[in-house]
Structure 1
Amino acid sequence: MINVKQELMNKILKGDHEVPIICVPIVEKNKDDIIAAFKECYENKIEAVEWRVDLYEEINSPNEIRYVLEAVEDYTRDMLLIYTVRTKQQGGEIEVDESKLIDLYDVASESQVVDFIDVECFSVKSPGKVIARIHENDKKVIVSHHEFLETPEEPVLFHIYEDLFQTGADIVKIAVMPKNSNDVVRLLKFTCDVKEKNPNKPLITISMGKLGTISRITGEIFGSAITFATLGKKSAPGQLTQENVKEILDVIHKA
């Protein structure tokens, strides 16, 4: 019998979802608040959570990270857990060398509760090898890249996508910053074109900030598999509340 977590995983990886999965970021700094945030997500029947490990005050202690992962096991039985270490150059809070970053991925790979590990494509020299190593531990990978200053032109977006696609990750994620509404339209068209080209490869695209809000609620139309919303603190500009996003996604789906 397939459990709820496996059903969610299958919907994403097989591309047969209709309404995008809503993922709530957990961005608290101390372990008690982090565990409480997981509990709140569990009580609100959230489909997926992203733990931003780079914000954890004990990030330099693998044992403390393991402690949190073990402590939230019961809360994650029916929701997906994305483990993310966001480096400073990609909008996160920490500056780490490649060796340290891989060590942090290894901690997640060993955990029974982690479902996806976010790997920054251009923060490691050989992302394909890093991802293959994670796959050996039966974990899925979201390979990501963020552009915080602009929305690249379409040929550049496709070049970035191909670099990410070639790593062998399970999901490709690209987030960009729009300067105007045309940038948002370009990101949405790019998303649609990529899904037509590679319908079996799950894709997450985000146009960040207030201008890009529309990109967070149109995944069913254009092809983005996961959208990010918040129960409390935001992890990125332009995020809406989980309640609002769910309501809007339901309206779009019924229409």
Structure 2
Amino acid sequence: MPAVCVPFVGRTAGALRAEAARAARLKPDLVEWRVDFFEGIARTADVVALAQELRNAAGVPLLFTRRSSREGGQPIALGEPEVVALYEAVCAARAADIVDAEMAGDRAHVQAVREAARAAGIALLLSFHDFAGTPPAGELLARFRQAQDLGADIGKLAVMPQSKADVLALLQATLQASETLDIPVAGMAMGALGAASRLCGGEFGSALTFGMGEAASAPGQMPVDALRAGLAVLREASARR
């Protein structure tokens, strides 16, 4: 079954601490800090210290993510070189367990984050998000392969389906990637149409799913308790095979 991740989307340190306290009660497998929501993102030392604090408070591994506005993230005042420097600082301090970088970004920037993660012994997740639609299954599979070719430890895709067929394309690509690549992959369709993929994605090879704690970080995320209940039903059914 997929690991369950709870995202943090607070804009202030106080809001983030409240999310971490709630996550500790929910006991997910890991948490994600979407730092692009944080109003203090430009203060590197504060980000590093808060990342360490949030991980300790949640009691589980931390995935550190800056999502760009082109892939559904919040606008920020930092340029891409400054974002890379922020990732390098987080890695140097070993303030996270996994870092998420967008594989569609500048190749030199992806390489810099990869090298920083490797030097610190931190896992690298390379991701791609399409909030406008869903590419064909073949293109999605190529994206998963790109993540592996770029040196990712985990590959992640999230798409916005316009039909049920789009959800099937995402699941098909996830299954093929999980069976043919050497790295774990995570695939999810967003929005109401894609909700089923968050529950059954593990049956198609997805290693990770996201459930909301205080708030969602992407359309279609369901409360983590409801997500867990659905996963438990699938787990029980699968055990009967």
Partner of 1:11: none
Across the aligned residues of Structure 1 and Structure 2, the Cα RMSD in angstroms comes to 1.5
Matches within 5 A, 1:92-131: 92-95=73-76, 96-126=78-108, 127-131=110-114
Matches within 5 A, 1:167-182: 167-182=150-165
Name whichever of 161-170 and 128-137 sits farther off: 128-137
Does structure 2 conserve the Cα–Cα contact (< 8 Å) formed by 1:128 and 1:166?
Answer: no
Matches within 5 A, 1:122-161: 122-126=104-108, 127-161=110-144
Between the aligned partners of 1:223 and 1:83, the Cα distance in structure 2 is: 23
**Cα deviation per residue 1:158-198 (whole Å; 9 max; x = unaligned)?**
22222222111100001111100011111111111111112
Normalised to the residue count of structure 2, the TM-score between the two structures is 0.92
Between the aligned partners of 1:22 and 1:208, the Cα distance in structure 2 is: 16
Between the aligned partners of 2:139 and 2:94, the Cα distance in structure 1 is: 37
Partner of 2:12: 30
Q: Tell me: CA distance 1:56–1:151, structure 2 relative to 1, closer, same or farther (3 Å).
A: same
Does structure 1 conserve the Cα–Cα contact (< 8 Å) formed by 2:92 and 2:116?
Answer: no
The answer for unaligned runs of 5 or more in structure 1 is: 1-18
Query: Secondary structure of 1:236's match?
Result: coil
Q: Tell me: CA distance 1:73–1:178, structure 2 relative to 1, closer, same or farther (3 Å).
A: closer
The structural deviation recorded for 1:111 is: 3.1
Partner of 1:214: 196
Name whichever of 101-110 and 65-74 sits farther off: 65-74
Between the aligned partners of 1:253 and 1:203, the Cα distance in structure 2 is: 19
**Cα deviation per residue 1:106-159 (whole Å; 9 max; x = unaligned)?**
122023441000011122223244313321111111100101111101222222
Q: Tell me: CA distance 1:163–1:74, structure 2 relative to 1, closer, same or farther (3 Å).
A: closer
Query: Secondary structure of 2:104's match?
Result: helix
The answer for unaligned runs of 5 or more in structure 2 is: none
**Cα deviation per residue 1:20-71 (whole Å; 9 max; x = unaligned)?**
1110110010001111211211122222110010100000100211231243
Query: Partner letter of residue 243 of structure 1?
Result: D
Percent pairwise identity: 30
Matches within 5 A, 1:1-255: 19-77=1-59, 79-95=60-76, 96-126=78-108, 127-198=110-181, 200-255=182-237
4+ residue segments displaced more than 4 Å: none
